[in-house]
Amino acid sequence: MKTKQRLDKILAHMGFGTRSEIKRLVKAGEVEVNGSTVKDSGLQVNPAADTILVAGEQVVYREYIYVMLNKPQGVISATEDTRERTVIDLLPEEYRHFEPFPVGRLDKDTEGLLLLTNDGQLAHQLLSPRKHVPKTYYAEVAGRVDSRDEEAFAKGVTLDDGYETMPAKLVILKQGDPEQSQLSRIELTIQEGKFHQVKRMFEAVGKKVVYLKRITMGPLLLDEHLPLGGYRELTEAELAALPLVKKE
């Protein structure tokens, strides 16, 4: 983080309004820095060291937010879209002004764990193909998933575009019947994140995923208390488990 920044930029980042709204707040004498009322909204301030008060209340500055979302179906993993609702539309303004983005993508019809942050370095750590961050999905698959699928996934399967997947761990929770009239319930852990990967891995063994939900990403576990569409900030323990890059 830069040590000194314009006061209006800091306050905009913390959700006190647009630059011109903040200018008005300052003109109205509502903003103090280190005990003195400020007249210039362009004043250079160090948010980590200087004490900023707005209407007598101290502004506790922070640069990054880390939010866990239980993504529902029907919203897309993007920050904006002209037609579709995005995961960012599910957040309140108190988080949106930090300009978070989803770390990776879940399909429109996939539910579950999605991390939203404005920390680009963390996103890179979690998404870089070289890091092999494991992700576990719960899926319901038409018909009978069996030990041959476990073996195939453990070796890696060939997707429709010829890509050979890395070894993946399949756990069968409940086996459906062969006539496809029942569902198999499974968990699959993959170490990469190709487009539609879980669905395409099952297609590679001739089966169809009918429901998909992500339950883990690296050290993060979906909080089962979060309803679909629900969100919360990560706890200290969750943050401590993440590969956060120390910032100045």
Where on the chain is the footprint of ligand URA (CB under 6 A)?
Answer: 106-107, 110, 196-199, 212
Question: In the bound complex, what is the minimum distance in angstroms from residue 214's beta carbon to ligand URA?
Answer: 6
50 counts as catalytic: no
Closer residue to ligand URA, CB minimum distance, 90 or 106: 106
Closer residue to ligand URA, CB minimum distance, 26 or 106: 106
Question: In the bound complex, what is the minimum distance in angstroms from residue 17's beta carbon to ligand URA?
Answer: 36
* Cα separation, 89 vs 19, whole angstroms: 23
Of the candidates 83, 18, 7, the residue with the CA atom closest to the CA atom of residue 51: 7
Report how far Cα 242 is from the mean position of its chain's Cα atoms.
13
Closer residue to ligand URA, CB minimum distance, 199 or 207: 199
Question: In the bound complex, what is the minimum distance in angstroms from residue 114's beta carbon to ligand URA?
Answer: 10
Question: In the bound complex, what is the minimum distance in angstroms from residue 129's beta carbon to ligand URA?
Answer: 15
Tokens of 16: 């006190």
- Spot the catalytic one: 107, 149, 160, 177: 107
Of the candidates 71, 210, 225, 213, the residue with the CA atom closest to the CA atom of residue 137: 213
Closer residue to ligand URA, CB minimum distance, 2 or 108: 108
Residues recognised as catalytic: 107
